[in-house]
Amino acid sequence: MSHRRLRLAAIVLPALLGTLLCGVLGAHYNARQALLGESRVSEQRLNLYANNLTTLIERYRALPTVLALDPEVARALQGPLDRSSQLRLNLKLEQLNQAAQSSSLELLDRDGMAVAASNWDTPFSYVGHNYGFRPYFQQARVQGAGRFYAVGVTSGIPGYFLSSAVTTPGGAFLGALVVKLEFALALQQWPQDRDILLISDERGVAFIASDARWRYRLLRPLSEDDREALAATRQYHHQPLAPLAWDTLETLGEQHRLVRIERADYLWESRALPTEGWTLHVLRPWQPDARGQWLAALGAGSAWLCAVFALLVGYQRLRLARLRRNAQRELERLVQARTLDLREAQDGLVHSARLAALGQMAATLAHEINQPLTTQRMQLASLRLLLERGRVDEAHAAVRPLEQMVERMNALTRHLKNFSRKSPQGLREPLDLAAVLDQALHLLASRLREQRPEVMLQVARPAQVRGDALRLEQVLINLLGNALDALATVSEPKLCITLERLGNEWHLAVIDNAGGIAEDALPRVFDAFFTSKPAGQGLGLGLAVSRAIAEEQGGRLSAENRNGGACFTLQLPAASEAP
């Protein structure tokens, strides 16, 4: 019982632990796949936002360059600008700004002073303000064009400034034409779903954010040089630039990570905009699907249990198959041992039956030997008288019959000795069945002379078969002895013995005229211990042993009623080789 409990525990505990582990792994895998799926969606949206932003900027990138080619703009920067000319230029820039749908247009002279602007009649007019410190003006002076995102020092409204140099036909710098784009509002109108958009500059300052709480936040710490540069350009005028703190929970790729910001989880995707020197960020809120993870855990645990049960069933089937094989081998071993025992018992029974047959013939065999002995005594007495009287020639003549009788008794005793011994099991040697019949008749010669049946022999010679001569002789003695027993009470006994070849078999039949076998007893004549003789005259083993010997020799023994008597037929396969 303790052993069985240990085996049960050894199966149940790993199964439960494996189920728990598979459940955890299944839930983790489900969360990971869901996260990767959301990451792909976020990446697609990031590409969409980046394309929209690039398209928006490219719409206005050539605008300052085209306007800088206007001769009226160049003339305004080459000499003193009177009030009427300045008004006319302001109105022109206002109309162009409305047509282009930009935020503002301004014209700066060679010192960075705004001489005309589209917002000339607003409280935040650029006219009269100097913007020579702005990088977009300095870039236009040196490179011919410039770009810069900053908070307006006049209006306080952030925007993207694109500039283009205004030059003389000889290439001398006269000033710069600047277009301002306030596309933060445009970005907020994009279909963002739950996403949070951020645009950061090369210093890591998020200057545009769809959520105002995250605008002008630092995505990484500023160096001292960066702070000085920001102060000099007044890029983010009067903005505190507070750090945006986050914890990375999981890294999915170079630009993909799961972060936690202010106790909320976000899937953070980034993409560089090299033309502008910016980085576009998309933060997608992430909330694990508890139900999906639970179902995944349940499915993984169930799959593990199914695998365990399948392995247990397979193991049990293999174990049962092994037990069946072992049982089969043990059964075969027992059958072989039992068969060997049965063969030994059958061989002993055959030998016992042979000795029993000899016992039944003992009286007649004793008479067969006693008669020559009596004759020999009389001949020896006659031989002594002839020798005493000197009749040597007659004595020599009387010796020959005496030698013949001795040889006859010697042959009979030698055959009885051979018949009583055990023959090797399974012996199959070439022999003449007719010669075996002669030997059987020789052993029964005294009974034949005593009962004097009419014997009819129809024997074809030689009858070549393969088998054990002694065992076949025992079969014939049993058949002939049974026939003589049946003929003992018949007034005119007849015994017919035939040996003929039919096809590939030799058929030896022993037929009597003793009335045959009762119909109800005919099916049982070969059963062991069945006999129709009176009690004390037989055990009913002779025919059972005879049939077993016939089958052992590769033949068969059958019984039937024929012509008013019983007919027993021994059939053996014919052999080609001679004995």
- Position 166 in a domain: yes
Beta-sheet pairing, 264-273 with 256-261: antiparallel
- Position 259 in a domain: no
What span, in angstroms and rounded, lies between the C-alpha atoms of 479 and 312? Answer: 64
pLDDT in tens, 333-392: 888 887 676 666 666 666 666 666 665 555 555 655 665 676 667 667 777 777 778 777
Token pair, residue 29, equals 């895998």
User: What's the one-letter identity of residue 243?
Assistant: P
Residue 300: per-residue pLDDT? 79
Which of 182, 210, 225 terminates a domain? The answer is 182
Helix (H) or strand (E) holding 543: helix 542-552
The number of folded domains in the chain is 4
Contact between 433 and 499 under an 8 Å Cβ cutoff? The reply is yes
Q: Based on the domain organization, do 536 and 576 belong to the same domain?
A: yes
Q: Based on the domain organization, do 507 and 526 belong to the same domain?
A: yes
Strand ranges for 71-113 from DSSP E: 104-109
What span, in angstroms and rounded, lies between the C-alpha atoms of 324 and 317? Answer: 10
- Position 220 in a domain: no
Q: Based on the domain organization, do 453 and 509 belong to the same domain?
A: yes
CB burial of residue 490 (10 Å; 0-12, 13-18, 19+): middle
Q: Based on the domain organization, do 48 and 77 belong to the same domain?
A: no
The dihedral of CA 429, 431, 433, 438: what is its sign?
A: negative
pLDDT in tens, the chain (579 residues): 677 777 777 777 777 887 888 877 777 777 677 777 777 877 888 888 888 888 878 888 888 988 888 888 888 888 788 888 889 999 999 999 898 888 889 999 999 999 999 999 988 899 989 999 889 999 999 999 998 888 877 777 888 899 999 998 888 999 999 999 886 555 655 555 678 888 898 889 988 887 778 888 898 898 999 888 888 888 887 788 888 888 888 887 777 888 888 888 888 888 888 888 889 888 888 877 677 777 777 887 788 778 877 887 888 888 888 888 898 888 888 888 876 766 666 666 666 666 666 655 555 556 556 656 766 676 677 777 777 787 777 777 767 777 766 666 665 666 556 555 666 666 789 999 999 999 889 888 888 888 899 999 999 999 999 998 888 988 998 899 899 989 988 999 999 999 999 999 999 999 999 999 988 888 888 887 767 766 555 556 778 888 988 998 899 999 999 988 999 999 999 998 776
- Position 132 in a domain: yes
CATH code of 505's domain:
3.30.565.10
Q: Based on the domain organization, do 378 and 460 belong to the same domain?
A: no
Q: Based on the domain organization, do 408 and 433 belong to the same domain?
A: no
Among candidates 122, 119, 88, 124, which has minimal Cα distance to 104?
119
Domain that holds residue 399: 361-421
Q: Based on the domain organization, do 548 and 450 belong to the same domain?
A: yes
Q: Based on the domain organization, do 476 and 550 belong to the same domain?
A: yes
pLDDT in tens, 288-302: 767 777 777 788 778
Q: Based on the domain organization, do 521 and 557 belong to the same domain?
A: yes
Q: Based on the domain organization, do 438 and 478 belong to the same domain?
A: yes
Residue 350: per-residue pLDDT? 62
- Position 351 in a domain: no
What span, in angstroms and rounded, lies between the C-alpha atoms of 186 and 188? Answer: 5
What's the Cα-to-Cα distance from 508 to each of 77, 210, 289, 476, 479, rounded to whole Å?
A: 147, 118, 95, 9, 11
Q: Based on the domain organization, do 301 and 406 belong to the same domain?
A: no
- Position 579 in a domain: yes
Residue 359: per-residue pLDDT? 59
Residue 237: per-residue pLDDT? 78
